[in-house]
Amino acid sequence: MAGKKHSSLDKVLGRLDQLDQANLQNLVQRLARERAMLEAVFDTLQEGVLVIDADGVIDYANDAATRLIGLAAGAGGTSLWRLVPGLRGSLDAGGGKQAGGAPVVTREFELSYPQPRVVRLYMVPFQPDERGGQRFAVILSDITGEKKSTADLIEHEKISSVLLLAAGVAHELGNPLNSLTIHLQLIERKLKKLKEVHGAGALEESIRVCQEEVARLDGIIRNFLEAIRPQPPDLADVNVVEVVEDVLRFQAKELADRGLTVHGELPASTPLIAADRNQLKQVFFNLLKNAMEAMSAGGRLSIKVRADDDSVFIAFADTGAGIRTEDLNKLFSPYHTTKAGGHGLGLMIVQRIMRDHGGHVGIESKEGVGTVVTLQFPQKHRRVRLLKH
């Protein structure tokens, strides 16, 4: 092969049939020494190094990889897909591809076992094995500290700004809104006694509009308070499919009025999670509302619930307008909204509730195609194991 370098060892290996027993023994010893040296080098690295086949079976793992993913010593032949749930799909959804069509994958994901970590993964194909099957080199980097320090700083600044603004809003708007509500009620009562007054109908309509606007502003204040004064979840065994179905039943009329259809893959045998049922409803309502407002008549919302050995996943996929690339990294910021009249706190509340449940939220979107929001909850047994460490 053009450009490939050959070592002196390659030359010796090229004439194995010409070596006597003594030289063969020396060659074996040399190979053993070189293997031991290479393994020692790999074991000094802070990054995890794995070699896997196309089925995710681990052929090699250095010490750092063993620690990161909780691989037992001498557990060769274990599947990486079992240790890192959800990674298998990356082979079909890799961001880039090398010659031959095998994907090059870069991902960041969170592990809860053997201890909570954020890991950056880089997976690249290399030469096939002796059977002609594709193999991959996987590099794992522990970025927990980097992510935590950045997240803590952002969260601190976010909470400080929200608290400051909310305190002002509660004071400046709360009292006037109460006063407006009382006076509108008084006007409405007087107007009912003066039905014969010319133009009373128009006045009633004006009062109704004012009352709706007062209610809307009151809702904004309540959203402020929900975002900055969250209640700890009251955990109980919950089947997420039942909660999703409750929310869909409640929203059925509005979905029909908007001309939207819903397709659900909601298996009844979904594993239980430890969750606060009311907070889950709040999450699902927010996501359903966002999806409905993103679509026009004829749109379709797909809701799919699935599970692996450790997690339960819920995906909300709409056929709406999608989200601009430059807006994707702002979605969880307070007050950021792309909707007229939106308060920009919905996804912030969703993220906070998911975090309190030990879960994660991911968003994929393409303008003109739609948006997929995926929620990942730890199964009940996985959450217990995490709490014990």
pLDDT of the chain along its 389 residues, tens only? 444 455 555 655 556 666 677 777 777 787 778 777 777 777 778 788 888 888 888 888 888 888 887 776 655 678 888 777 666 665 554 444 444 455 567 777 777 776 777 888 888 887 776 676 778 888 888 887 766 666 666 666 666 666 666 666 666 666 677 777 787 887 877 777 766 666 566 677 777 778 777 777 777 676 666 655 667 888 899 999 999 999 999 888 889 999 999 999 999 888 999 999 988 998 998 899 889 988 999 999 999 999 988 889 999 999 998 887 767 666 766 544 555 444 446 687 888 888 888 888 888 888 888 888 899 999 876 654 444 43
Contact indicator for 132, 121 with CB cutoff of 8 Å:
no
pTM of the entire predicted model = 0.46
